[in-house]
Amino acid sequence: NYSNRPYGVGLLVAGVDDTGPHLFEFQPSGMTQEMVACAIGARSQMARTYLERNLDAFADCSREKLMTHGLRALKESLNQDKELTVENASVGVVGWIVANGKKGKLEGFKLYDGEKMGPLLEKALEGSAAKTEGETEGEGQAESMDTS
């Protein structure tokens, strides 16, 4: 019977209309909800945690910064012995072109993969490594405050 939904399939569907961008999560249970940011899959909890921690910043981010956040979230979901590379990562983008704070025309779907991913990955992983080092160094230490 082809009318039944497939068991165990989760989907993220993104799109844009006149009201702005939309992201919908379709869960295997049949539940559907609109999300601001979401990750699904076997190792998605760390990615979801990253997205939740940075959620407030997304509204004011440029497209490039949002792609960086997405790649950093994806990196969080990898096994420790794995790395994001141009061979195993790609980014799809669709949305309004914004210039001078005003919404312009709708840009069609654009896929960044292969060599196009190089600069995006460098930027995402560079910032991620610096943040991780900073968190490790300052972990468990109180920052001194000048009271003079």
Q: How many Å apart are CA 134 and CA 127, to the nearest integer?
A: 11
Considering Cα of 120, then 118, then 12, then 104, what sign does the dihedral take?
A: positive
CA distance 21 to 39: 16
Q: What is the mean pLDDT of residues 108-121?
A: 92
> What letter would DSSP give residue 51?
H
The C-alpha atoms of residue 119 and residue 126 are separated, in whole angstroms, by 10
Please give the pLDDT value at position 104: 80
Give the Å distances, CA to CA, from 93 to 46, 71, 104, 106: 22, 13, 16, 11
Mean pLDDT of all residues belonging to the chain: 82
pLDDT score for 4 = 66
Rounded Cα–Cα distance for residues 143 and 141 (Å)? 6
Judge if pTM exceeds 0.85.
no
Query: Residue range 129-137: average pLDDT?
Result: 45
pLDDT, one tens digit per residue, over 33-85 is: 999 999 998 899 999 999 999 999 998 888 899 999 999 999 999 998 999 99
Residues ≥6 apart with Cβ < 8 Å to 116:
none
| Res 132 pLDDT > 60 | no
Q: What angle do CA 143, 138, 54 make, to 5 degrees?
A: 100
Higher per-residue pLDDT: 132 or 1: 1
* Predicted local distance difference test score (pLDDT) of residue 2: 60
